[in-house]
Amino acid sequence: MDRLATPEEAQVIRSIIASLFEERAGERERAFGDLIAGDGYLADETSLQILNPVNYAPQLHTTQCFHEAFSIAKQILGDEARFFLDLSIQKNLK
């Protein structure tokens, strides 16, 4: 895991993702929602998700973490591997 990102970069990524959840990025496009509860559920949100957070924070794809993970994917899947989807899930334990 140390190879994916430095502790400093991990903190930057964490801050970016936290901001996206705080502003509910993607809500209008239905990319933001509760993974468990689904639409229209009025209980506490427990598993928020953002589909393709890179759409709302393109700098995520410029990180060492992204480049290293993509490199690993190519080692496993071959050079034909392509980026298709990213997903962030925020678990709210209460």
Residue 92's pLDDT is what?
A: 75
Which one-letter amino acid corresponds to residue 74? Answer: K
**Residues with pLDDT less than 70, the chain:** 1-2, 37-45, 93-94
Closest to 27 measured CA to CA, from 3, 53, 1, 59 = 53
Asked, for residue 32, whether it belongs to a domain, the answer is yes
Asked, for residue 1, whether it belongs to a domain, the answer is no
Number of folded domains that form the chain: 1
The DSSP output letter for 18 is H
Prediction pTM value: 0.82
Residue range of the domain that includes 85: 7-91
Asked, for residue 2, whether it belongs to a domain, the answer is no
Asked, for residue 74, whether it belongs to a domain, the answer is yes
Closest to 15 measured CA to CA, from 46, 59, 52 = 59
